[in-house]
Structure 1
Amino acid sequence: MKKAIMFAVGLFIYAALMWYYLFHGAQTDIPIQLKGSAADPTMFMNEHQLKLSYDFSRIKDWIYFLSVPLEWLIYLLILGFGLSKGMRKLTGGITKFSALHTALYVLLLTFLSWLLTFPLRYYSYTVSKSYGISVQPFKGWMKDSLIDFWVNYAIMAATVIVLYFFIRKFSKRWWLGAWLVSIPFTIFMFFIQPVVIDPLYNKFYPLKNEQLKEKILTLAKKADIPAHNVYEVNMSEKTNALNAYVNGIGSNLRIVLWDTTLDKLKDKEVLFVMAHEMGHYVMNHLYQNLIGAIVLSFFGLWFGSKLYKWFILKWGEKWGLKGPGDLAALPVLLLIFSLLSFAAGPVENMISRKAEHDADRYAIELTKNPEAAVTSFQKLAAEGLSEVNPPGLVKFFLYTHPTMLERISYLQSYQK
């Protein structure tokens, strides 16, 4: 209890320091040479929008930086207070069938974690709503949250059943067997994402604007992309922000436009956004992401197995764990993978930012319309209340894309 209180106090101090850094300590002034340029937010946002953008971005960033150690604290509390051991005993009393026992334990653990993080997620939703980014009623948000819970639970339960099968059968090399099984599973998830998982949250349909659709397909033909359709999704029911993306692999690959993007961007701006997404396809970024996920999981599982063994040896007895094969030790694994994911995040972000910059370059070379490219990014920033030049720590840990300052200034340099 004493250690839990100390950790909670530490979390509070950390949250206060992050708040100070984000709202008072971070240096985010626009470089002098870019003041008055198209990258200067004062040139395309009014004073009210600038204030909203600053406050909204900083609050959302603070929520992220708070949510990560909160997740770690939850796992430690579940272990330290013997809750994991109790859940293992409770679910073991219901059934002796290993797979079902594991599924029930994971359900309890997932629900407990979901419940404990609910206040912060709800706060994040209310912030988006109060700043006019989210337009989704609570009922719709709650529905998405529950879908999220069950999708994550299904994936988690299947993963844990496989993991503990290998841990119990091959105590030293369990990570290798788990990694080999994860390869087809990762490929399968990439393949079904656009056609099975995404439609659980939104409605997808072929682009209604036939003229624009023809322009996009003509652009795709110019890029040697065998595209036959473009999809839009009804995001206006949930948000005022703009976006487009490409996901899936093989025959299930989809290029998708949010209907908010279609409503608020001109055709020439939409074509630049589409060209950017086509750049990801042409440069095989999706397949590179797939390979990257497989390689990363190899090192993550290998290093994670070493840390797992060390954690069990050092604290397993205190937490009432019977050994690495004890299901009650799952929070230890989840804690380790969360720590590793957080540590690897900046490297993944750096690689992603390079890919996004390459896609920007491809798009401008394909469309030859830097003016439309600049105005599309300006509108994306203004409508989503995105901070043009975020704090350094935010970019380092959160940004998978170059900042709007970098993207717009690059397009300006291309224009010259």
Structure 2
Amino acid sequence: MVRKSVLTAIVLFGLYIVGMYVYIFHGAQSTIPEALKGTVADPAVFLSEREWVLSEEYSKIRNFLFFAAAPFDWLFYFLILTFGISRGFEKWSLSQTKWKIAQNAIYLFWLSLLSYVVVFPLNYYRYTLSKSYGISTQSFSSWMKDGVIEFWVDFGTMILIVSVLYWLMKKSAKKWWLYAWFLTIPFSLFIMFVQPVVIDPLYNDFYPLKNKELETKILDMANNANIPSEHVYEVNMAEKTNALNAYVTGIGSNSRIVLWDTTLSRLNDQEILFIMAHEMGHYVEKHIYIGIAGYLGLTLVGLWLTAKLMNYFVRRYGKVLNISEVCSIRSLPLFLLITSVLLFASSPLSNYVSRYQESRADRYAIEMTQDKDAAISSFQELTRAGLSQVNPPLLVKWFRYTHPSMLERISTLDQYDTSNQNE
């Protein structure tokens, strides 16, 4: 039974990989519509032929890796259950100490370490791929340092989450998912509050914007939009990437406007002001709070479904998965497998909402700045710097894109400004 299940899982994974490879590299269409050829949204207008070719190549590889990575994780979780590895980790942790939280820490350490080692080749390939296409500028030692920091941050967070989660499972087999969701609310808000001042600085250095003239312009815009902000922060990303970015992060007194130094070096002031107006649009339209509400709603449904599915799989396939009861920590890979599948399945919906919010922020920014040239040129430069695929295939857009494609964003801005001028 176990051998048959493992063989079936591997064959299905192989067929999926072949299918996605054919779709991404041979079946998916990313051509430019005839109506937009020759316009400012056409990559042939603002990219060199080599840049366009590289963006298509790079994007196809990254898209394929994205679609391969999630099922690979699912296969990994399934195999460590069926081969009894998770059960072995649990037995080892129980034999080392009587303290429950210490047992959880030992189990999680070995599970996290095994996961890190198994996924490392894929992550390393992504890193070298980014360097070969001129996106990443990060040294191997710096990349490894970030990976080690992420490992320990995730490990520490998981000890807390898993310890509470499995304690709830033991206390209430039927309603643990509901109690876990209630605790998710303050925990998520706390993480969002400390992220800019505790977690983010572990990876990069943040400091007040050096260009005080530009900072004054940005703060004036924020003041006109009734956005409370005293400083704009700059982060040193040039030593890691050539890509561009800017964002608003945090909540409450820890909210920040952040600009990558690569953005500051490659965009002019007007382009930066448009990007900042876009970020302010998210604040004005309360997208962060809508996002929190949506996240909590999906989490509630996800935890409920996870509880139902875990009970079903343990009851029907417990012997194959080496799980005797849901509340045993050896069932954690099953929990992670189910939640990962649900998250992947729900991504088209969450991405659709995100793309709508991004389009709203674009509209807010162009209304605020009234600068068509800066709006279009900023997105053109973002495309060039990150070798972004201008018009991704439909399946890629559904599952990967939290922002509208550059083709949509640029053409919409161009049409919107033209219509305003004609009124």
Tell me which interval the TM-score lies in, with the shorter structure as reference length: over 0.9
CA offsets 1:359-393 (integer angstroms, 9 cap, x no match): 00000011010110000000000110001001111
Structure 2 distance, partners of 1:311, 1:16, is: 28
Q: CA deviation at 1:12?
A: 2.9
SS of aligned partner of 1:347: helix
Structure 1 distance, partners of 2:7, 2:140, is: 33
Q: Which residue of 2 aligns with 1:384?
A: 386
Structure 2 distance, partners of 1:146, 1:288, is: 33
Residue identity matched to 2:328 = D
Q: Which residue of 2 aligns with 1:210?
A: 212
Structure 1 distance, partners of 2:370, 2:265, is: 23
Q: CA deviation at 1:6?
A: 4.0
Q: Which residue of 1 aligns with 2:127?
A: 125
Q: Which residue of 2 aligns with 1:283?
A: 285
Aligned residue among 139, 142, 149 for 2:141? 139
Aligned length: 416
Q: CA deviation at 1:292?
A: 1.8
Residue identity matched to 2:384 = A
Q: Which residue of 2 aligns with 1:166?
A: 168
Q: CA deviation at 1:110?
A: 1.2
More displaced 10-residue stretch of structure 1: 218-227 or 351-360: 218-227
Q: CA deviation at 1:108?
A: 1.0
Q: Which residue of 2 aligns with 1:326?
A: 328
Q: TM-score, normalised by structure 1?
A: 0.98
SS of aligned partner of 1:318: helix
CA offsets 1:291-331 (integer angstroms, 9 cap, x no match): 22222211111111111100110111233322111111111
Aligned residue among 226, 234, 242 for 1:232? 234
> Within 5 Å, which residues of 2 pair with 1:80-229?
80-229=82-231
Q: Which residue of 2 aligns with 1:248?
A: 250
Distance 1:11 1:405, change over 3 A: same
Structure 1 distance, partners of 2:202, 2:294, is: 26
Q: Which residue of 1 aligns with 2:397?
A: 395
More displaced 10-residue stretch of structure 1: 355-364 or 10-19: 10-19
Where does structure 1 differ by over 3 angstroms across 4 or more consecutive aligned residues? Answer: none
Q: Which residue of 2 aligns with 1:365?
A: 367
Q: CA deviation at 1:2?
A: 4.7
Structure 2 distance, partners of 1:291, 1:358, is: 18
SS of aligned partner of 2:325: coil
Q: Which residue of 2 aligns with 1:258?
A: 260
8 Å Cα contact 1:247-1:286 kept in structure 2: no
More displaced 10-residue stretch of structure 1: 80-89 or 214-223: 214-223
Q: CA deviation at 1:14?
A: 2.1
8 Å Cα contact 1:248-1:286 kept in structure 2: no
Q: Which residue of 2 aligns with 1:43?
A: 45
Structure 2 distance, partners of 1:339, 1:12, is: 17
Q: CA deviation at 1:263?
A: 0.3
> Within 5 Å, which residues of 2 pair with 1:402-413?
402-413=404-415
8 Å Cα contact 2:348-2:399 kept in structure 1: yes
Q: Which residue of 2 aligns with 1:342?
A: 344
8 Å Cα contact 1:249-1:287 kept in structure 2: no
CA offsets 1:252-299 (integer angstroms, 9 cap, x no match): 111111000000001000000000011111111111222222222111
Residue identity matched to 1:46 = S
Residue identity matched to 2:358 = E
Structure 2 distance, partners of 1:290, 1:194, is: 17
Residue identity matched to 2:232 = V
Structure 2 distance, partners of 1:391, 1:63, is: 15
Structure 1 distance, partners of 2:56, 2:144, is: 27
8 Å Cα contact 2:242-2:385 kept in structure 1: yes
Structure 2 distance, partners of 1:123, 1:101, is: 34
Structure 1 distance, partners of 2:380, 2:322, is: 55
Structure 1 distance, partners of 2:245, 2:257, is: 11
8 Å Cα contact 2:32-2:42 kept in structure 1: yes
Structure 2 distance, partners of 1:33, 1:256, is: 37
CA offsets 1:155-210 (integer angstroms, 9 cap, x no match): 11211101100100101111111111111101101111111111111011110001
Structure 1 distance, partners of 2:327, 2:15, is: 36
Q: TM-score, normalised by structure 2?
A: 0.97
More displaced 10-residue stretch of structure 1: 47-56 or 9-18: 9-18
Matched, 1:15 2:11: no
Q: CA deviation at 1:16?
A: 2.5
8 Å Cα contact 2:82-2:322 kept in structure 1: no
Residue identity matched to 1:147 = I
8 Å Cα contact 2:354-2:403 kept in structure 1: yes
CA offsets 1:112-162 (integer angstroms, 9 cap, x no match): 111111111111111001000001011111111111111111111211101
Structure 2 distance, partners of 1:318, 1:5, is: 13
Structure 2 distance, partners of 1:23, 1:332, is: 32
Structure 1 distance, partners of 2:296, 2:197, is: 22
Residue identity matched to 1:104 = I
> CA RMSD, aligned part only?
1.1
Q: Which residue of 1 aligns with 2:30?
A: 28
Q: CA deviation at 1:41?
A: 0.3
SS of aligned partner of 1:354: helix
8 Å Cα contact 2:244-2:262 kept in structure 1: yes
Q: CA deviation at 1:9?
A: 3.6
